[in-house]
Chain A
Amino acid sequence: LAKTTQPISMDSYEGQEVNITCSHNNIATNDYITWYQQFPSQGPRFIIQGYKTKVTNEVASLFIPADRKSSTLSLPRVSLSDTAVYYCLVGSRDDKIIFGKGTRLHILP
């Protein structure tokens, strides 16, 4: 399993674009990158998943450089309700999911 490193916490303001970067230097060929979001008092929720280049959905974008040793979750125009913990996970479909400490994102008015 590739180990991931992401910032412990981040602050931003409403309306800003927020980018959270995750490092995974020993990512394997079969590994893909998945991000989950966890609001207070709720279970984690799947946000986005990708293998390479760029993936975009209605919630976020995921940028993955060619070497795949890092990835960046981009949240456009955040609001107060985006305050949550964001987890970066790396693994293949044969791996069990392991959650790290995540990044605690705090959106300020």
Chain B
Amino acid sequence: DTAVSQTPKYLVTQMGNDKSIKCEQNLGHDTMYWYKQDSKKFLKIMFSYNNKELIINETVPNRFSPKSPDKAHLNLHINSLELGDSAVYFCASSQGIKGDTQYFGPGTRLTVL
């Protein structure tokens, strides 16, 4: 059974394009997150939503816009993609907020050419 799923798994696109990554969790969790893992393998939190409300918004360019249509989904839309956006993006969820155990998706490898 898939707990946290992301689509697509791979995304290759040109600079300047707009793309979206989708995330869904079937764990009944209240909180969802987006992380970025760059080529140096640092895993950095970008956003967190609790019951569809934004609770964590790190210093991320406003080209990145999360959208949570319901508490089981948290999508990430990226405008005007840049080379530096190339990374693996992980979605995660937890029952509580912030410090609770998080369950991660398989990741989306974004390559910007």
Which residues on A are within 8 Å of B, measured CB to CB?
Answer: 34, 38, 41-46, 49, 85, 87, 91-99, 101-102
Contacts and interface: CB of A to CB of B under 8 A. Distances in A.
Contact of A43 (B56, B97, B98, B107): B107
Interface of B: 4, 35, 41-45, 48, 56, 90, 92, 96-107
Contact of A44 (B44, B97, B104): B104
**For the complex, would chain A's binding face be called helix, strand, loop or mixed by DSSP majority?**
loop
Given A96-B48, A98-B45, A41 B99 contact: no
A101 B42 contact: yes
Contacts of A34: 101
Given A43-B4, A96-B98, 9 more contacts: A42-B106, A46-B102, A91-B99, A93-B99, A94-B98, A96-B99, A97-B45, A97-B99, A101-B42
B14 to A, nearest CB: 24
A87 B45 CA distance: 15
Given A41-B107, A43-B90, A43-B107, A94 B41 contact: no
